[in-house]
Amino acid sequence: HAHEVLDHGFVRVVDYMGDDAAICQAARVSYGRGTKSVQNDEGLIRYLMRHWHSTPFEMCEIKLHVKLPVFVARQWIRHRTANVNEYSGRYSILDREFYIPSAEHLAAQSVVNNQGRGEALTGEEAARVLDWLKADSTRAYDHYEAMISQDGQQGLARELARMNLPANIYTQWYWKVDLHNLFHFLRLRADAHAQYEIRVYAEAICEIVKDWVPAAYAAFEDYRLGSVQLSGKGV
């Protein structure tokens, strides 16, 4: 089944390879006869995570089908250690689906720092913003449709017409990645510094990973998500 995210998005597992045992199997090839000391899988996985022995985690792979707004896709695609096939706006006609933030996520610019969000907008200001987002999306899509229509006219090339569409339109892709690089993605995107709209995808994936490789996820949560790093000077 698909995990629903935002107003029209989702994350859905298509396939995966490997599990906690596969991580240990690979790690034990490396350690060979010398693994007697770390007896159980969970202990071995925690040891690997703690010492940044990342290659055994690359032995697991997952493939997801994701539907997401374009501005989220633009952040996501920056993670280069993955395999991607995206819906093509050159060949195909995009669907009329736009992300419109819910009231509580219509956040103001933070006044404390440049990069974050403050309180949710309220009252008239919130209403005005929502109206614009909706009206501009609708109009942009109406024109998109009208431009590509071949009804009584030539019809603009799809690859050109899509440039009129705003960044809150939804796209889709298949996204395949190994577990080590997925953890790296999750550390950066399930983090408080990440934009809310990508963070909810990362959080949905955290749930998926927790089910898939519980021991690895627990180690990740402890040593990466929840960890504190002290600088040499700080120590």
Ligand X SMILES: Cc1cc2nc3c(=O)[nH]c(=O)nc-3n(C[C@H](O)[C@H](O)[C@H](O)COP(=O)(O)OP(=O)(O)OC[C@H]3O[C@@H](n4cnc5c(N)ncnc54)[C@H](O)[C@@H]3O)c2cc1C
Out of a copy of itself, ligand X, none, what residue 194 binds, judged by CB under 5 to 8 A for its kind, is ligand X
Q: Which of positions 44-63 make contact with a copy of itself (CB under 8 A)?
A: 50-52, 55-56, 58-59, 61, 63
Give the number of other CB atoms < 10 A from CB of residue 197.
19
Q: Which of 133, 199, 210, 214 binds a copy of itself (CB under 8 A)?
A: 133
Asked if residue 138 binds a copy of itself (CB under 8 A), the reply is no
Out of a copy of itself, ligand X, none, what residue 17 binds, judged by CB under 5 to 8 A for its kind, is a copy of itself
Give the number of other CB atoms < 10 A from CB of residue 50.
12
Q: Rounded distance, CA 96 to CA 98, Å?
A: 7
Per-residue x/- marks for a copy of itself, 143-162, CB under 8 A? Answer: x--xxx-x--xxxxxxxx-x
3-state secondary structure of 68: strand
Q: Which of positions 200-219 make contact with a copy of itself (CB under 8 A)?
A: none
Asked if residue 86 binds ligand X (CB under 6 A), the reply is yes
12 given a catalytic annotation: no
Own/partner long-range contacts of 47-53 (Cβ < 8 Å, ≥24 apart): 48/23, 48/219, 49/216, 49/219, 49/220, 49/222, 49/223, 49/224, 50/219, 50/223, 53/27
Q: Nearest 5 degrees, angle CA 76-CA 82-CA 85?
A: 80
Asked if residue 103 binds a copy of itself (CB under 8 A), the reply is no
* Strand ranges of the sheet holding 61-69, from the earlier edge strand across to the other edge: 2-5, 9-17, 61-69, 170-178, 82-86
Q: Which of positions 9-38 make contact with ligand X (CB under 6 A)?
A: 30
- By beta-carbon proximity to ligand X, the closer residue of 40 and 81 is 81
Task: Spot the catalytic one: 90, 139, 189, 199.
Answer: 189
Q: Which of 2, 102, 103, 110 binds a copy of itself (CB under 8 A)?
A: 110
Radius of gyration of the chain, Cα coordinates, nearest whole angstrom: 22
Question: Counting Cβ atoms within 10 Å, is residue 219 exposed (0-12), middle (13-18) or buried (19+)?
Answer: buried
Asked if residue 1 binds a copy of itself (CB under 8 A), the reply is no
List residues near ligand X by CB under 6 A.
Answer: 30, 54-55, 58, 78-86, 88, 178, 180-181, 184, 188, 193-194
